[in-house]
Amino acid sequence: MKIGFIDLYLGNWHATHLPDILKKIATDRGADVQLAYAWAKEDVSPVTGQTTDEWCKTYGAERCATIAEVCEKSDCIAILSPTNPEYHLPFAKEVLPFGKPTFIDKPFAVNAKEAEEILAIAKEYNTPVYSSSALRYATEIHAVEKPIFIATTGGITTYEEYIIHQIEMVVAALGIGATGVNAVKMGELVHFEIFYPDGRTANMMASGDAAVMPFTVIVGNDKDRKFKEVTSDIFYAAYDDMVRFFTEKTCSFDPEETVEVMRIRDMTLEAVKRIGL
């Protein structure tokens, strides 16, 4: 199974770590899974300074001249560009008509409206598609059965890119149905409360320093609550599920949760604006 990468530029964290993780997953699964093709809109990475040719040589990918060439040659597609989700919709418009199973990195889109548009295009062409933060795959979220409460912490650089991780944990635990988000600045921290109409509750605490505030969760139901720091191998688990998706062409969770994550992100970013951040 040959995977093609589509990216804004290839020298980013996900593009440079995913190939090695894929090799390990291929070995563990005994599967023929490999990065084979790549295309980037920008030739030079502003992060690493690598050119597309240099990146492809390092990671053993064939550079393609167009998105269409990647899609024609590949069995499945990974649209990356994690820091610039504004490119996900335009990339998806070119990729999804090929009908190849497609993973789209987080954040799935710039807002819920564009997320719904991407899913509509996928439905039109009967193309399997999904997106998720790796934090969805934290085993710590499942410390209790059928949780009705979750509280998360985590460090961020920007709310636009990184609050998605905590939101993904919330939705993975509680499902869909959030109706609002409130934010309160608490010194160096920002606290978010997510509202539900049926008794479920969710809280997120964000810090500008990941070293000061690692990802943690408190999950609970009517009988029990557990506190856990997220130490499970989330990236391996996430990309292992991506490989399974490429093979089976089915998402391991309700795709409506992808849109829910984006809805809560929209409400969270509005809450941030209301408190002047």
pLDDT at 208: 84
Rounded CA-CA distance 136/206 in Å is: 17
d(CA 35, CA 19): 6
Query: pLDDT of 102-113, one tens digit each?
Result: 999 999 999 999
Mean pLDDT over 68-93 rounds to 97
From residue 195, how far is each of 93, 183, 272 by CA, in Å?
A: 34, 11, 16
1-36: pLDDT as tens digits: 999 999 999 999 999 999 999 999 989 988 888 999
Q: Which helix (H) or strand (E) holds 262?
A: helix 256-274
- Checking if the pLDDT of 236 tops 90, the result is yes
Residue 214 near residue 232, CB atoms below 8 Å: no
Q: How far apart are CA 170 and CA 175, in angstroms?
A: 8
pLDDT at site 205: 97
Confidence check: pLDDT of 230 > 80:
yes
Distance CA 12, CA 80 (A): 9
**pLDDT tens for each residue of 182-217:** 999 999 899 999 999 999 999 999 998 877 889 999
Q: Tell me what the pLDDT averaged over the chain comes to.
A: 96
> Could you give the residue ranges of the DSSP H alpha helices within the chain?
13-29, 52-59, 67-73, 88-95, 112-124, 159-174, 234-248, 256-274
The answer to whether 221 and 145 are in contact (CB under 8 A) is yes
Using CA atoms, how far apart are residues 212 and 204, in angstroms rounded to an integer?
15
Residue 157's nearest CA partner among 211, 230, 225, 111 is: 211
Cα gap 203→152, rounded to integer Å: 6
Q: Assess contact for 88 and 114: CB atoms under 8 A.
A: yes
Residue 183 has a CB neighbour count (10 Å cut-off) of 22
Task: Please tell me the predicted confidence (pLDDT) of residue 159.
Answer: 94
Q: What is the pLDDT of residues 113-168, one digit of tens each?
A: 999 999 999 999 999 999 999 999 999 999 999 999 999 999 998 999 999 999 99
Among 16, 71, 79, smallest CA distance to 48 is for: 16
How many residues are present in the chain?
A: 277
